[in-house]
């Protein structure tokens, strides 16, 4: 495996932002080359110190201004997301704008006390004359490489946490959705964040590689496992800390006591929101055999009622996929499943009459783990449903994946659902809900296994944006420490007594230790 991402320093390239529903050209933009990315990082570093010196409370004040401006322009931002990413306007509002507004609320309410200096009491008698404190200091310059599927909520939540902690940020958005990132930049700059403290560099893979190989202090990446592994290898060469969110293959477990109507609606929404292009999408659905036929029929019937079209139409339930390569992946997974015996209950084909990037929401039955649809990340509008016979089999199937981002358990018995949830290998498990964990600002977002390293969102996401520093001050600076040179037999016996004083079993053992240790105070030190 390569240990760095090589960059081709060719003539400046341009990228074209397209509306995936219509194919319309939205804007053409120049890609940042290596020198431009490095210059952006240099500017960010020069500006970061002053930004940090503002203090948390003043940075929180700018977040309040950002929140107000975002709320005032919510409809315009949602429309920009829909034009460039294709999702329905309602989804852009709920899964992007709402998420960012609430993440800002969390930071406004919590950043000061989460980032403030924290006293650290000492339990050891040897260090009682010291005063310890934990400081949380910014890394410096945070690089963020964000994806196209949630082009506003993912980079914005990460950026806001980094900024409030005192970092400068250089963001490289997906080449498929650069305009949304520029909308974010405009909002932040209008809210008072200095232009050099938050910068956007536009481009394709080489631009991201240039950011990775620049003088940033930490990288936050959301994308594929393949690219994430290359980034981790390159970062390891210089011990660059990283946060990696690398996708999922999330299972949904429907137990025999589940409410079929509610669970089937959840499955349809969880599989087809954003045309299935979500790392938290339901990509594997396991249903108790006693419910299988009725559940699958309910999912198929509800899927047939979905309205497909341009996301700018308020009546649209499912919009287009992002581009042709992603449609091809979905098509290949469905065809592989059909060839291996899966049954298509609804969908299973492109919809050229709507546009080049439309694929019909698809429900598959009789799938197995030998099929690509149950093992590889599909990232498209497909709901594969498989039967299980008992709870143990359900857990085994859920855990039979290289991914571990999120999962859900559906049952009328919440305690049973929670017991099962504890056995599933995932960063998040929801009982009787799906996907909304991403919008819970207090909850960490991140996975296990191939789903990534580290967390975003909430307290733990904020902790990723700082370095811990321990500050120790001695209360009696003119006193030589007991454990300093010179040593000797008497000192050895005194230290044995000191250990007995602290850790001996029984009062007499401790008193004896105290008497033997007392001489250490009068001992002559160098």
List residues with catalytic annotation.
Answer: 245, 279
Residues 6+ apart with CB under 8 A from 509: 500
- Alpha helices by DSSP H, 369-472: 391-399, 414-421, 458-463
Q: Are strands 130-138 and 466-474 parallel, antiparallel or unpaired?
A: antiparallel
Burial profile 233-256: b = 16 or more Cβ within 10 angstroms, e = fewer: ebbeeeebbbbbbbbbbbbbbbbe
Q: Tokens standing for 421?
A: 């949830």
Q: Are strands 242-245 and 218-222 parallel, antiparallel or unpaired?
A: parallel
Helices (H) and strands (E) in the chain, counts: 18, 20
CA-wise closest residue to 163 among 215, 95, 108, 213: 108
Q: Tokens standing for 248?
A: 């999922």
Q: Tokens standing for 351?
A: 């919809």
Write out the H or E segment, with its range, that includes residue 388: strand 382-388
Q: Which strand ranges, in their side-by-side order, compose the sheet holding 343-346?
A: 343-346, 362-365, 382-388, 282-288, 250-254, 406-410, 428-431
Q: Are 167 and 139 in contact (CB under 8 A)?
A: yes
Residue 241 Cα to chain centre, angstroms? 15
Q: Are 319 and 82 in contact (CB under 8 A)?
A: yes
* DSSP assignments along 16-45, one per residue: EEE-TTT--EEEEEEPP-HHHHHHHHHHHH
Residue 25 Cα to chain centre, angstroms? 30
CA-wise closest residue to 312 among 1, 5, 26, 2: 26
Is the Cα dihedral 114, 115, 118, 120 positive or negative? positive
Q: Are 456 and 220 in contact (CB under 8 A)?
A: yes
Residues 6+ apart with CB under 8 A from 162: 138, 142, 144, 169, 220, 465
Q: Where are the beta strands (DSSP E) in 51-164?
A: 118-120, 130-138, 141-145
């Amino acid at each position: 495996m390569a240990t760095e991402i090589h960059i081709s320093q060719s003539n400046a390239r341009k990228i074209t932002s397209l509306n995936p529903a219509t194919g319309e050209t939205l804007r053409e933009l120049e890609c940042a080359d290596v020198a431009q990315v490095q210059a952006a990082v240099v500017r960010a570093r020069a500006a970061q110190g002053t930004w940090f010196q503002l203090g948390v409370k003043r940075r929180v004040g700018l977040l309040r201004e950002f929140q107000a401006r975002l709320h005032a322009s919510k409809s315009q931002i949602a429309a920009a997301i829909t034009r460039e990413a294709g999702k329905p306007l309602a989804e852009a509002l709920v899964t992007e704008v709402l998420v960012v507004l609430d993440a800002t609320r969390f930071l406004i309410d919590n950043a000061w006390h989460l980032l403030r200096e924290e006293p650290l009491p000492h339990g050891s008698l040897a260090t009682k004359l010291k005063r310890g404190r934990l400081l949380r200091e910014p890394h410096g310059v945070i690089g963020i490489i964000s994806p196209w599927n949630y082009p506003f909520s993912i980079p914005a939540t990460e950026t806001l946490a980094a900024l409030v902690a005192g970092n400068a940020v250089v963001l490289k958005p997906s080449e498929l959705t650069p305009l949304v990132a520029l909308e974010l930049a405009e909002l932040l700059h209008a809210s008072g964040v200095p232009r050099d403290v938050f910068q956007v560099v536009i481009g394709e893979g080489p631009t991201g590689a240039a950011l990775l190989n620049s003088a940033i202090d930490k990288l936050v990446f959301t994308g594929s496992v393949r690219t994430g592994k290359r980034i981790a290898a390159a970062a390891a060469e210089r011990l660059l800390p990283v946060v990696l969110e690398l996708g999922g293959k999330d299972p949904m477990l429907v137990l025999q006591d589940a409410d079929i109507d509610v669970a089937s609606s959840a499955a349809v929404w969880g599989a087809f929101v954003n045309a299935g292009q979500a790392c938290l999408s339901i990509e594997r659905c396991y249903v108790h055999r006693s419910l299988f036929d009725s559940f699958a029929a309910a999912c198929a019937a509800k899927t047939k009622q979905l309205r497909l079209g341009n996301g700018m139409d308020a009546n649209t339930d499912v919009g287009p996929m992002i581009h042709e390569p992603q449609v091809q992946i979905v098509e290949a997974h469905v065809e592989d499943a059909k060839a291996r015996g899966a049954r298509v209950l609804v969908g299973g084909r492109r919809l050229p009459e709507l546009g080049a990037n439309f694929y019909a929401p698809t429900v598959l039955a009789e799938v197995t783990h030998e099929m690509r649809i149950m093992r590889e990340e599909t990232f498209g509008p497909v709901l594969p449903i498989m039967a299980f016979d008992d709870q143990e089999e359900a857990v085994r199937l859920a855990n039979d994946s290289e991914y571990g981002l999120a999962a859900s358990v559906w049952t009328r018995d919440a305690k049973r659902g929670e017991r099962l949830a504890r056995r599933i290998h995932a960063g998040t498990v929801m009982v009787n809900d799906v996907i909304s964990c991403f919008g819970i600002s207090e909850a960490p977002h991140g996975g296990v296994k191939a789903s990534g390293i580290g967390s975003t969102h909430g307290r733990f996401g904020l902790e990723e944006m700082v370095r811990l520093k321990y500050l120790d001050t001695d209360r009696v600076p003119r006193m030589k420490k007991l454990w300093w040179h010179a040593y000797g037999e008497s000192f050895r016996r005194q230290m044995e007594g000191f250990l007995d004083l602290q850790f001996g079993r029984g009062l007499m053992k401790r008193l004896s230790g105290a008497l033997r240790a007392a001489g250490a105070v009068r001992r002559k030190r160098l």
